[in-house]
Amino acid sequence: MTLIFVNLKRFDIPRRLGGICPMDDPGKWAGRIMEESLKNGLGKLNDMEVVFLFPEALVLTAVNKLASCPKKETETINIGCQGVFRENVEKGGNFGAFTTSLPASAAKNMGCEWSIIGHCEERKDKLGIIAMYEPGALKNEEMMKRAKNAVDKVINREVLCALKTGMKVLLCVGETAEEKGFGSFNEQEPRIKASLSSQLDTGLKESLIYNPQENVVIGYEPVWAIGPGKKPPGRDYIEFVSSYIKTHCKDRHGFEPTVVYGGGLKEENARMISNIESIDGGLVALTRFSGDIGFYADEFKRIVDSCL
């Protein structure tokens, strides 16, 4: 594996308020996570990079903590944000009338090198907005297809904003249970490919001028398998999808992307996933899923070690 992303979701909210941060001061927690990660040697890995994707409120804490350490201790750790707005601040354009939104220029200026875009939670939210204001908009297959295409177009604008600003992008794609459908794998295969190709083709539109080979990573999320009580895909399924993503992007978009598994890289599956030739990395959200659930630096180090 060459890339492991850590999506720290809403770790800006302490547990006493219903969040997941174990400290009342999320900023102190973010600084501690950086300190422990550096102590565990994650800034000095060989042939692997770790990207921490923070909520906006914690980005500067993480960036400043890394900046306060010797460069040789931090070389393989980077900081990213959890999405950017579909429009951006540019010279000669809108100077910043983006209240509540995070322009890519602001994220880049804070020190973000990466942004995750198109995560299944973002896609679900955008579809929810369409359903909220257009009752019945998702009631049949054709209308759902049009709504998802509209979401893909918004995501594409976010991708282009990030790339134009000089950030790298983790673009997430994946099929839902409805898109996968029932039946044998042979029956499901064309539907899976159709879902992935639609998201990739729209999401990557006009990205070629920004050297996507170096600046775009595709995160595969098996949306149908994400969540409590759901069975994750096996090795063969992950290998099939990741290989298809690489081939499709090479044939249609002129580059063979780095592909990471976004269905939840864990200590239990890290070794198996790291041995899939067409998978180049993974996406971690939590390291502990029972008891005091959360993200723990020492447990994350064990996941990294399993992938080396």
Tell me the CATH number at 113: 3.20.20.70
pLDDT per residue over 24-50, tens digit each? 999 999 999 999 999 999 999 999 999
Q: At 71, phi and psi to the nearest 5?
A: -55, -40
With cut-offs at 50, 70 and 90, classify the pLDDT of residue 286: very high
- Which residues lie closer than 8 Å to 281 by C-beta, 6 or more apart? 1, 2, 3, 4, 5, 217, 258, 259, 260, 261, 307
Residue 1 near residue 280 (C-beta atoms within 8 A): yes
pLDDT of 135 > 80? The answer is no
With cut-offs at 50, 70 and 90, classify the pLDDT of residue 190: very high
pLDDT per residue over 12-26, tens digit each? 999 999 999 999 999
Q: How far is Cα of residue 257 from the mean position of the Cα atoms in its chain?
A: 14
The tally of domains found in the chain comes to 1
pLDDT per residue over 100-117, tens digit each? 999 999 999 999 999 999
pLDDT of 283 > 80? The answer is yes
Q: List the domain range (segments joined by +) for residue 153.
A: 3-307
| Mean of per-residue pLDDT scores for the chain | 96
